[in-house]
Amino acid sequence: MMNRLFEDLRALRRLFAGLLMIVALAGCQHKQNWHLKNVTHIVAPLQFSMQSTAGGTATAKDFRGKLVMLYFGYTHCPDVCPTTLAKLSSAIGQLGPQSKDVRVLFVTVDPKRDDIKTLTAYVDAFDPKHFVGLRGNVAATEAIAKRYRVAYSYEKPDASGNYAVNHSAAVFIFGRHGNARLLGTEATPTKDFVADLKQLLSD
């Protein structure tokens, strides 16, 4: 009788252990459903040292603990830049209190015309609380663009000296520790940015 009882107890323990393993494996196999492209381990971690509209020189370490959306453009951009930045501002506005942990870094690819004063006025027009403008010299701009495989080129100036800058329009999203997580574009719906940012913020 006792032997039978011990055998039943051992069988229950094995069953319980098996159930725990199944639950653990289910947790490990849970995958987040991203709307944006998952670029974890594909894109380089956030790294830079540039002049900032927040004052002085900023580095990636200044944004540890925040989700960072990195975008390259220029203040004279007639369409893609303002449209994309307005979309990012709208997405942040839909995060509620969680927005305090999100920053948009706008890197100018036109440092010749985009001095700090111009850049500050530009990013502040979208969101002075969550947007930061970054500016470097020609070498620094080329270096960060190369790091994230961002292409840009200058059109021939017109008679007044004005010119357009062709540039990539990707939005890179980095996690709280500076690791690359997601990639969006100017065509990504605002609701998709909101949904994925909320997932990252809840991690």
Domain boundaries, the chain: 1-30, 37-202
Q: What is the pLDDT of residues 144-197, one digit of tens each?
A: 999 999 999 999 999 998 999 999 999 999 999 999 999 999 999 999 999 999
The band of 29, judged by pLDDT with boundaries at 50, 70 and 90, is very low
Report the chain's mean pLDDT, rounded to a whole number: 88
Of the candidate ranges 28-32, 77-81, 150-154, 199-203, the one whose mean pLDDT is the lowest: 28-32
Q: Token match 């470097």: residue?
A: 136
pLDDT at residue number 32: 72
| Entry pTM | 0.83
Instruction: Tokens for 52, please give them.
Output: 């900032």
Topology adopted by domain 37-202: Glutaredoxin (3.40.30)
CB atoms within 10 A of CB 73: 25
118 Cβ neighbours under 8 A, 6+ residues apart: 75
| pLDDT at 126 exceeding the cut of 90 | yes
Rounded to an integer, what distance in angstroms lies between the CA atom of residue 21 and that of residue 133? 49
DSSP string for residues in 9-74? HHHHHHHHHHHHHHHHHHHHT-----SSEE-TTTSPPP--EEEETTSSEEEGGGGTTSEEEEEEE-
pLDDT at residue number 72: 98
Rounded to an integer, what distance in angstroms lies between the CA atom of residue 122 and that of residue 81? 11
| Under 8 Å between Cβ of 193 and 88 | yes
